[in-house]
Every structure is written in C-alpha cells, then in structure tokens.
Amino acid sequence: MNIALLIAGGAGNRMGQDIPKQFLHVDGCPIIVHTMQCFQKHPDIDAMAVVCLKGWETVLQAYANQFSITKLKWIFPGGNTGMESIHNGIYGLKGEGCVDDDLVLIHDSVRPLLSQDIISSNIAICKAYGYAITGIQCREAILESEDGFVSTTSIPRDTLIRTQTPQTFRLGNILDVHEEAKRKGIMDSVASCTLIAEVGGREMHIVPGSEKNIKITTVEDIEILKALMHTTKEGWMK
C-alpha cells in the first residue's frame, strides 16, 4: 500500500494569523485541502493520514468530507516538534495495522502545488532504493554567517541540495530510523532526511523537485501561491 502522511501539527506562528496556516483559505479552499487533492487524484496513492494540530481534527474531517477527500483514513495527534509529529504519524500507521513494506510519503501539509510526476517518482525511487528524498540543486550563491549579518565564508553550491517533500520510505525502514535516533538521543531533527543523515549508514536517493513545490510559511508565500495557481506556461516556451 502507498500511503500519503501529511504533517499538519504546527500552529504556524510565523504566519502571524488567527488560525493555523494549513487551514487558511486560498481560492475558496483550505491550503491543506489543496494538498490532499494532489494525493486524492493520484492513482497510485491508496490512503492518506494526517498528523493534525490538537483541536482541529473535527475541522479537518469536515473539510475532507466537504471536498470529497475519500482517501483520508486516519488522523493522528500532532507533536510539539516536526520530528515528534512524524513519529506520531508513522507509529500511528503501525498501530492501525499498516505493514513494514508499505510505502509512506511524508509530506508537508502546506506544500499544495505538489505535482503528480513528483509523487510518481517518489514511489518509483523508493521501491528501487528504499529512501527517496525530493530536492532541487541549489542555484544561489551561498554564504555562511554566524549572526545573519556578517559573513566572510562562502559554501560551494555544486554539491548542495535544497530538500522538499515528499520524503518517502518503507514504513519499517523509517520506524527503524526513529528507533535508532531514540537510542542515540536525537530528539529534534528538522526533517526526515536530516534525521537519517544524523543517524547515518543509509543512502538517500534524490527525486527531482520543483520550484513550484513551495512551502507556505509567510504571508508573502501566500501571494506567490496565488500567482502560481493562476499562471500557465506560455505556449511558445519549450
């Protein structure tokens, strides 16, 4: 089974709004529903689970019903950190009877422009290699700074990858990573890919991402999202 696990456990404080950013409406639809629709329409996704901010579970289910998100099967409680939310999601799936060989596509609930091709590539690469990480090569010049104001050092960009989601694993493999992290005292890694790197001993294979696969974090990102949703490729462009 191929399962999309959406992480929606955060309050979105950096957005500065009265409701969590995943529930903000864009074009008459909550951002999280736009994201779920990406997986709803993909033929190889069998089920969805959402790790949800406490107190918003009923709202989430109501939106799923309203927008015909029939693949939503489970809602799990959010954690205090992203790593804890992912932990709750994967152990929740295990508790619901999902098996070690099931593929789990862990995805930010606030990346609503995920393409069907990226989903397909994650499934294919994970089946072939076990660990699939969506990412794009860094195009910007990178400086290193201790305080965000002064820099004397640059970092070569040729080997740098900006990671996105989905990040896809067999359920048994990502459970093993979290168990090993627990033994090593790793409690707050920022993403599944960084957790795997900190634990060590596993190769992660890169799935080509997209600049359109943005993560909504600030009000400016909402403006970019609206522009992207209403833009089509010029007919003369290859």
Task: For residue 63, tell me if it sits in a domain.
Answer: yes
> 204: domain range?
2-229
238, part of any domain: no
- Within-domain flag for 237: no
**pTM for the predicted model, two decimal places:** 0.96
Tens of pLDDT, residues 171-214: 999 999 999 999 999 999 999 999 999 999 999 999 999 999 99
211 within domain boundaries: yes
> Does residue 9 lie within any of the structural domains?
yes
The CATH number assigned to the domain holding 67 equals 3.90.550.10
Number of domains, the chain: 1
pLDDT of residue 231: 87
Per-residue confidence (pLDDT) for residue 226, from 0 to 100: 96
Strands 47-52 vs 2-8: parallel, antiparallel or unpaired: parallel
Given a cut of 70, the residues of the chain with pLDDT beneath it are: none
